[in-house]
Amino acid sequence: MDDIKKTHTTSKLSSICVYCGASDAVNPKYIDLAKRLGTQLAKSGLRLVYGGGGVGLMGACARAAHEAGGEVLGIMPRFLLDKERIYTEVEHRIVDDMHTRKMMMFEEADAFIVLPGGIGTLEEAVEILSWARLGLHAKPMAFLDEDGFWQPFFELIEKIIEGGFIPADFRSAMVHCRTPDETLDAIKARRIVLDL
């Protein structure tokens, strides 16, 4: 794990990993937000790193980034190829298992954006936060929603801080944003804070 820290505390910001829901059965407003984020990443010259699927918010974000001329890398575990309908129009890697996928997504990214999602999204975001808590990396993370989707998560973090389980300055490991623009600005600002 020491190696992770050495390799991943650079201040470079060229690739953003997006965690988000894979379900198509969601309110269309979430799909729309994912599309707008994908477009914004492309316009900002940032590479999108994501789970490789063509479904749900994942597919919407990747397609929008690709169609706007952005660079996209998808990383898909073999057993999900059909279920998450791998999006083959962009660079993609097929890996053996979920752990390899998650580690590769982490390694390929300089920062993380968490869109609305389900259990998988939550797990991926919390794992990255837990590595930050252990001091294994200092890559910034932003949660993006327009409707307060992640508000209960931030309330839980406040309870955790109140309870003394994590220090108050851990708040700087994550930020809650309302628009793709605000999110990219926050990540850039966060990167500077965390690099100090």
Q: How far is the CB of 120 from ligand AMP (least distance, A)?
A: 2
The separation between CA 98 and the C-alpha centre of its own chain, rounded to angstroms, equals: 16
CA angle 29, 32, 34 (to 5 degrees): 115
Question: Which is closer to ligand AMP, CB of 21 or CB of 180?
Answer: 21
Residue 50: count of CB within 10 angstroms of its CB: 30
The tokens for 185 are 């600005």
The tokens for 17 are 């990993």
- For ligand AMP, which residue has the nearest CB? 120
Q: How far is the CB of 134 from ligand AMP (least distance, A)?
A: 18
Q: How far is the CB of 74 from ligand AMP (least distance, A)?
A: 10
What is the residue whose two structure tokens read 């984020």?
37
Rg (CA), the chain: 16
Q: Write the DSSP symbol of residue 46.
A: P
Q: How far is the CB of 179 from ligand AMP (least distance, A)?
A: 21
Q: How far is the CB of 122 from ligand AMP (least distance, A)?
A: 7
Question: Which is closer to ligand AMP, CB of 15 or CB of 30?
Answer: 30
Assign 114 to helix, strand or coil: strand
Question: Which is closer to ligand AMP, CB of 120 or CB of 161?
Answer: 120
CA 59 to CA 52: how far, in whole Å? 8
Question: Which is closer to ligand AMP, CB of 99 or CB of 171?
Answer: 99
Question: Which is closer to ligand AMP, CB of 24 or CB of 89?
Answer: 24
Question: Which is closer to ligand AMP, CB of 152 or CB of 163?
Answer: 152
Q: Write the DSSP symbol of residue 58.
A: H
H or E element at residue 132? helix 119-133
- The residue ranges that bind ligand AMP (CB under 6 A) are 21-23, 51, 53, 58, 80, 84, 98, 102, 117-121, 123-124
Q: How far is the CB of 167 from ligand AMP (least distance, A)?
A: 26
Handedness of CA 164, 154, 109, 186 (dihedral sign): negative
